[in-house]
Amino acid sequence: MCELSCSKRGSGMMADVQNDPAQWPLSIDRVGVKGLQLPLLMSDKSQGRQHTVASVTLGVDLPAKFKGTHMSRFAEALETWNEELSYHSLRTLLEDISRRLHAGKAYARFDFPYFIRKSAPVSGISGFMAYTCGLVGELRDGHFSITQRVVVPVMTVCPCSKAISDEGAHSQRADVKLAVRMRSFCWLEEYIAMAEAAGSSPVYPILKREDEKFVTEAAFANPVFVEDVVRRVAASLGEHPSVSGYRVDVESHESIHGHNAFARMEHDFVE
């Protein structure tokens, strides 16, 4: 192989080292690039479309016989793709990556903030809430799967604290993290609404005094443990026709304890 490489250099051709035999002939499950930044166009339930920015990870499997993959081809595929992110366009991107790199498996992950204009419950004053989201697609020998991810902040009031206290109860913010295997399209807003409905109260971008009074009283009338939140979300996902599997994580950032509380439920979910 060394003689061939030298011969190519001498004749003006550039060596393709990635195609050399691997020193350790073991298959690699996934190899690629991450941290690619991309302006992104998304479907928006209320506005039609939304512009955001994504951090992108792309990968493929690598057979044992090859030393390396061709990293530049991932960026080339992303540059020529340049579409609105959707169920179908993500599959198109993965098919192109698979062709370019002669791979049996192709993987893509888009992580991005998604913005929803949200109104306060009494005053009606509105502002943008940003939700941390991700869309993951995988193509394995022609079979396409897609996973929607979203992190939703909620407020929770402790039922135990309320039951044993003469005045008040401790409350805190909790993060509801959904990873949903989809069999068909579903609006991000629907998953966010499921998570917010499971807490004691949603979290708002702007609240006036009348809103704070309403939110506080409504939350204290609906105290929940992390166990309650995760069960409520799992029950909603289990009944949704677009969901084929899910993982729900709830983490409560405790206000009076020196630790956080968490709960997880999953059904037919494989990373």
Q: How is the chain split into domains, by residue range?
A: 24-267
Per-residue pLDDT at 63: 82
Class of CATH domain 24-267: alpha beta
pLDDT of residue 6: 39
pTM recorded for the entire structure: 0.88
All residue ranges of the chain with pLDDT < 70 are: 1-12, 14-24, 68
Question: If you write DSSP's letter for every residue of 19-86 in order, what string do you get?
Answer: GSPPSS---EEEEEEEEEEEEEEEEETTTEEEEEEEEEEEEEEE-TT-S---THHHHHHHHHH---B-
pLDDT for position 68 = 66
The pLDDT of residue 5 is: 39
